[in-house]
Structure 1
Amino acid sequence: MTALPDWMRPPRPEGWLAVDLDRLPEAPRHTELIDGALVFRLLPQRAWHSRVIFTVQRSLTAQAPSNIVIYSGMTVRLDEHNRPEPDVLATTAEYDPDRTWYAPEDVVLVVEVVSPESAHRDRTVKLTKYAQAGIRHYWRVEDEGDATAIHVYELDDATTAYAPAGIFRERLRVAAPFPIELDVPGLVG
């Protein structure tokens, strides 16, 4: 059995904290913190996944009002034990060149592009955590084999859970968090 490198050992008995992610230069890119545990994306990313992220980010950037900026590769600090990295996020936070994460109150939309490795987290864990943190809009993009589908959710304030707002396979049109229109098959075509 191979010994773990020292940097992989939690610095405290209760595990990792959100602040610790900024102190792990040896960690692989796209390391997330879920319930105090480090989550690594170690499998190669499929071309479908990469293309959808790029196209969604580019499309949202082109349609976003001037007070909303679109990013990929940034984490959201939900609380001290959770700092997931959505595939794409929309934020109202001011630009800070040294920023490594966003607060949930500054995030108006998170988009997760589902891969076999992330399916459970994207469909259940992150769905619940983003809602409980108060992020108003959540999209989950799925590869259905013969089509791409975007599952759109909006936060229900009464339950602090997401309510389904539609599944889009052809043309996505939504009014919130800002007016957005996407050609869903065009995300990969």
Structure 2
Amino acid sequence: MGALMNPEHSWPIPPPGGWTADDLDTLPNLPPHTELIDGSLVFVSPQTLFHMRAISFFDGQLQSLAPNVYEVLREFTIDIDRHNRPEPDVIVVDDSAVGDLNQTRLPAAAVCLAIEVVSPESIGRDRGVKPVKYAEAGIAHFWRVEHLDGRAVVYVYERDPSTGRYGTAGIFHDRLKVSVPFPIDLDLTEIMPKRRRTA
């Protein structure tokens, strides 16, 4: 209770109409990885070991596989519109959009693949809200990564340009192999701790 009464830890009061994408760069004392969804600030809960391992896995693997025209970034916000600035867990972006090392965000139009690793507190956003927004923003590929029965499962979606929505392109358990946005072949069992893989 004391922390809530301490002015240093008070919650920011949104202005009329909600927060904007620019506010994420200027609001003081925001927790790391704060996102903006529909004008509201979304704070991240402590992450699971699976979440951390999965992000590191996809970041490292895609770094080594992506052609030079792309750059792979982890936990970096993207501008969808004035009231939406989410932070996908991993993104693959057009290299030409990455320049200034002081950048704090990238335009959604530069993203060709967005990956979300689902946490218990983010299920609704990662399964429902974010995919809709990513598709509407024109992001061609979206992967949702979940922990199911001790294994990583990747749900792969591709945007249908005629509808502007994602369609399921595949569900992958132990191995993920796709040809778009570039050839990718991953052993998903590597996400799990070694003792779980050899048990």
Band of TM-score, shorter chain: over 0.9
Query: What is the Cα deviation at residue 67 of structure 1?
Result: 1.1
How many angstroms apart in 1 are the aligned matches of 2:184 and 2:100?
26
TM-score, length-scaled by structure 2? 0.90
Alignment partner for residue 117 of structure 1, among 111, 117, 121?
121
Q: Distance in 2 between the 1:188 and 1:69 partners?
A: 25
- Point out the more displaced range, 52-61 or 96-105: 96-105
Contact 2:78 2:86 in 1 (8 A): yes
Whether the 8 Å CA contact 2:37–2:83 is kept in 1: the answer is: yes
Tell me the amino acid that sits aligned with residue 30 of structure 1: H
Matched length: 187
In the other structure, the counterpart of 2:143 is 139
Which of 75, 78, 82 matches 2:77? 75
Summarize deviations over 1:99-128 as a string: whole Å, max 9, x none. 111111100100000000101100000010
Alpha-carbon offset, residue 21 of structure 1? 0.3
Answering whether residue 117 of structure 2 is matched by residue 107 of structure 1, we say no
Higher normalized helix content (fraction of residues)? 2
86 and 175 in structure 1: CA distance in 2 versus 1, 3 angstrom threshold: same
Indicate which of 61, 64, 74 corresponds to 2:63: 61
Does structure 1 residue 33 correspond to structure 2 residue 54?
A: no
Residue among 37, 47, 52 paired with 1:45: 47
TM-score for both structures, normalised by structure 1: 0.94
CA offsets per residue over residues 69-91 of structure 1, 9 Å max, x none?
A: 11112101100000000000011
Q: Contact between 1:7 and 1:24, CA under 8 Å: does it hold in 2?
A: no
Q: State the Cα deviation string for residues 47-101 of structure 1 (Å, max 9, x = none).
A: 1110110011000000000111111121011000000000000111233201111
Task: Quote the Cα distance in structure 2 between the aligned partners of 1:24 and 1:184.
Answer: 38
Identity %: 47
Structure 1 residues 6 and 46, CA gap change in structure 2 (3 angstroms): closer
2:62 equivalent to 1:21: no
Distance 2:11 2:68 in 1: 40
* 8 Å contact from structure 1 (residues 142, 150) kept in 2: yes
Letter in 2 for 1:39: V
Unaligned 5+ segments in structure 1 are none
- Cα distance in 1 for partners of 2:192, 2:140 equals 26
Aligned-partner residue type, residue 107 of structure 1: V
AA in 2 matched with 1:66: N
| 1:95 equivalent in alignment to 2:103 | no
| Counterpart position of 2:196 | none
Which residue in 2 is equivalent to 1:150?
154
Q: Distance in 1 between matches of 2:25 and 2:119?
A: 25
The C-alpha deviation readout for 1:134-168, integer Å capped at 9, x for no partner, is: 00000000000221100000000111000000000
CA distance in 2, matches of 1:6, 1:48: 31
How many Å separate the matches in 2 of 1:33 and 1:188? 31
Runs of 4+ in 1 over 4 A off after TM superposition: 3-7
